[in-house]
Amino acid sequence: MIQPPLDPGFMPAVVVLRNFHQATSCGASPLRFALERQGGAVSTFETMTYDGPNSQSRAMAKVLAERTAKTLLWARGGFNLSVGGPTYIGEHIARAYAPGGARVFDANFMGSDVYEHPFAVRWMEANELPQSNEVAEAIGGHLNGLRIGFDAGASDRKVTAMAEGEVIFQEEVDWNPKVNTDPRYHYHHVMSALHMAAAHLPGPVQGTGVSSAGIWIDNRCRAASLFRGVKEKNPEAFPQARDLFLRIQKEWGGVPSVVANDGDVTALAGAMMLEDDGILGIAMGSDEAGGYWAIGGGIMGWLNELAFVPVDLSDDAPVHEWSKDRGCGSSFFSQQAVARLAPKADIVLPAGMSQPDQLKEVQALMANDDERAARIYQTIGAELGYAIAWYAFFYQLKHVLILGRVTTGEGGKVILTEAQRVLGTEFPELAAQITLHLPEGELERRVGQAVAAASLPTIA
């Protein structure tokens, strides 16, 4: 194993799974999952587990089955999780997601916040599981007319004005939406950006597209870190935040408007740049966002919330600030990762400095060839390589596109190089199948999502 220099205890989920399968081949047994979500859509997944008598192997089988179930929930989504396989595995997962269980946060979040439907885990015979029922949906890629794209990041907001496919204005402004408890703060920032962009168009705005972290259904927010301060400290005002972009669309005369998860917009940007499919987009900003452009084109209606997906199975893995689970992506592929690793690299930063400012300090050190900063990016890159191999169990991949503020500057190249080294050394079959991309140019890396967002609405 290639050890990340600043994370000696890192235990990649994909390596643990590989070793487990090699050690338990004699007692191997199929394990199947089916996840039902809105509209009768069903996503299925099949792997192998252990159904022999060895107690240690059974204990590890339970851990890996639960980690697989959690990955599926946050990658694909669902309110009914059906498990087909050994009874002890089904019972273990059911207990984890029951009231008082280790994954009760996930159960409540999926049920109440995302799908507004009671969450349930069901064990059944493998041949009784629901059949797959999902179809990719084409979105975006439209460049005609006068458009505005808005990318609502957690530490900066970006806006782009486009006329007949040509970018005529771009702006990036720092903001701090996560901690603000009054949705009027978000409203005024968004409207200011839209008006600024509209002022550069040669005529009336004909469509707006929005890229935002979180879960959005029919342009309404189900959950987003963008409104976390509102949700937690001013919940009676959350309906205003939830319907923010519907209100803005109405005030702009009802022009076509589409709000999409920023990960999906990242994948769309990749499809537009690469003119191909099978693309996983990973945006490393204040958190980790993911999006998937399916084989054959389009999005699957999956959540792709990679920030919640477990990648490290170490008992000492960092704890996710929201779900309180260990080893999830947000701790490894975001500004949070840089802040976590800086002290390990002997980089001393002022107490109380915000994570965006900590990232800027580390980027400045990297620009001056500081070896301490390089070790941070080497660590992120090595861990990303193992994470991509884990993601490849759940996504059909031809390309992985890496964007976001963490990839800005020389550090982004180091991340890419280290991830490629891990894949080439540990997973050569994946290295031959998957191409990693870091978009050329700082502007494409940091503002590209706003351009893709602008292409979301269909203009007649």
Strands 28-36 and 80-84: antiparallel
Token output for 361: 């300090």
139 in a structural domain: no
Instruction: Tell me which of 95, 128, 161 is where a domain ends.
Output: 128
Show which of 261, 281, 298 is a domain's final residue.
261
Q: Domain limits at 57?
A: 13-128
The predicted-structure confidence for 251-274, as pLDDT tens digits, reads as follows: 999 999 999 988 788 888 888 888
pLDDT band at 86 (very low <50, low <70, confident <90, very high): very high
Q: Are residues 155 and 217 in the same domain?
A: yes
* Predicted local distance difference test score (pLDDT) of residue 322: 83
Number of H helices, E strands in the chain: 15, 15
Same-domain status, 50 and 21: yes
> Model's pTM, two decimal places?
0.89
Q: Is residue 88 pLDDT above 50, yes or no?
A: yes
Mean pLDDT of 368-383: 98
Same domain, 257 and 271: no
In a domain, 5, yes or no: no
Residues 154 and 255 in one domain: yes
Please indicate whether residue 218 or residue 47 has the higher confidence score (pLDDT). 47
Pair (193, 305) in one structural domain:
no
Structural domain total, the chain: 3
* Same domain flag for 71 and 102: yes
Mean pLDDT of 412-424: 98
- Quote the pLDDT of residue 225: 80
Instruction: Please report the sign of the dihedral spanned by the C-alpha atoms of residue 391, residue 122, residue 100, residue 37.
Output: positive
From 80, 102, 128, the end of a domain falls on 128
Q: Is residue 118 part of a domain?
A: yes
Residues 78 and 187 in one domain: no
Does residue 2 lie within any of the structural domains? no
What whole-number distance in Å separates Cα of residue 184 and Cα of residue 181?
9
The pLDDT tens digits of the residues spanning 300-340 come to 989 999 999 999 999 999 999 888 999 999 999 999 999 99
Q: Tokens standing for 74?
A: 């946050």
> Whose structure tokens read 């997962």?
93
Q: Write down the pLDDT at residue 444.
A: 54
Residue 460 domain-assigned (yes or no): no
Q: Are residues 158 and 242 in the same domain?
A: yes
Residue type, 401: L
CATH of the domain at 353: 3.30.420.40
In a shared domain, residues 26 and 166: no
Express as a percent the part of the chain with pLDDT over 70.
Answer: 98
Mean pLDDT confidence for 135-139 = 89
Share in percent of the chain as helix, strand, coil (round to 5): 45, 20, 35
User: Is residue 455, in this structure, part of any structural domain at all?
Assistant: no
- Do 79 and 216 fall within a single domain? no
397 with 376, same domain: the answer is yes
Q: How does pLDDT run across 10-30, given as a tens digit for each residue?
A: 999 999 999 999 999 999 999
Query: Do residue 308 and residue 162 come from a single domain?
Result: no
The pLDDT value given to residue 442: 47
Summarize pLDDT for 149-206 with one digit per residue, the tens.
Answer: 999 987 889 999 999 999 999 999 989 898 899 999 999 999 999 999 999 999 999 9
